[in-house]
Chains A and B, each alone.
Chain A
Amino acid sequence: AQSVTQLDSHVSVSEGTPVLLRCNYSSSYSPSLFWYVQHPNKGLQLLLKYTSAATLVKGINGFEAEFKKSETSFHLTKPSAHMSDAAEYFCVVSGNNDMRFGAGTRLTVKP
């Protein structure tokens, strides 16, 4: 069995400030972990994925995430937020042909 908990349903930051979206996971397997972004009226887009290689994963648009097995976490960060980053973000755990999404974190970026 596996599950994902996104700790914040809504995060609001100012443009140019750091972004932190938190995710904890639970899995009976050696999980693969992903972050996806969903802009309004658009399909889900993969930001990055962890697949048991380097624990610090770099993704698109300046995002990165660190896999911490001891904390069962996979938090998403970005040093400086841009207005175009405003969207819904989903943390995902995958294993045994089963993909589980978190409930999502809505990121708001203020000018």
Chain B
Amino acid sequence: ETGVTQSPTHLIKTRGQQVTLRCSSQSGHNTVSWYQQALGQGPQFIFQYYREEENGRGNFPPRFSGLQFPNYSSELNVNALELDDSALYLCAVGAGGDNEKLFFGSGTQLSVL
């Protein structure tokens, strides 16, 4: 058990809708990052938050946005869903720094129809 909880575990949406995915951890890790893992591929970095501010972003459009709350929980929001957004979304928490260990949640499986 990593102590990282993601909700919901599975979600079905239709194209054009908006979705919010959530992540929380038992410990007060001050960084949280989100990844998109398409079927059969490695996770792709979406963005990272440190102390409630975005401090790193991968190659994802602005309709992917996030929040980190004072209690270190986090949300990933995706607007105007597209079919290609169907994937496993992973949240990871850590203490910060490029060489720090990340603890991953089990992910939210999003299907866009």
Contact = CB atoms under 8 A, between A and B. Distances in A.
Contacts of B42: 6, 90, 101-104
B48 interface: yes
A12 interface: no
Nearest to B2: A43
Contact of A44 (B43, B48, B58, B99): B43
Interface in B1-57: 2, 4, 33, 35, 40-45, 48, 55-56
B105 interface: yes
A102 B37 CA distance: 11
Interface residues on A, range: 20 to 34
Contacts of A102: 42
B30 to A, nearest CB: 13
Contacts, number: 57
Contact of A49 (B4, B44, B99): B99
Interface stretch (A13-21, A63-71, A74-82, A92-100): A92-100
B44 A101 contact: yes
Given A43-B107, A49-B101, A101-B44, 20 more contacts: A32-B99, A41-B106, A42-B106, A43-B2, A43-B90, A43-B103, A43-B104, A43-B106, A44-B43, A44-B102, A45-B2, A51-B99, A96-B98, A97-B56, A99-B33, A99-B48, A99-B102, A100-B45, A102-B42, A104-B40
Interface of A: 6, 32, 36, 41-46, 49, 51, 90, 94-104
Interface of B: 2, 4, 33, 35, 40-45, 48, 55-56, 58, 90, 92, 98-99, 101-107
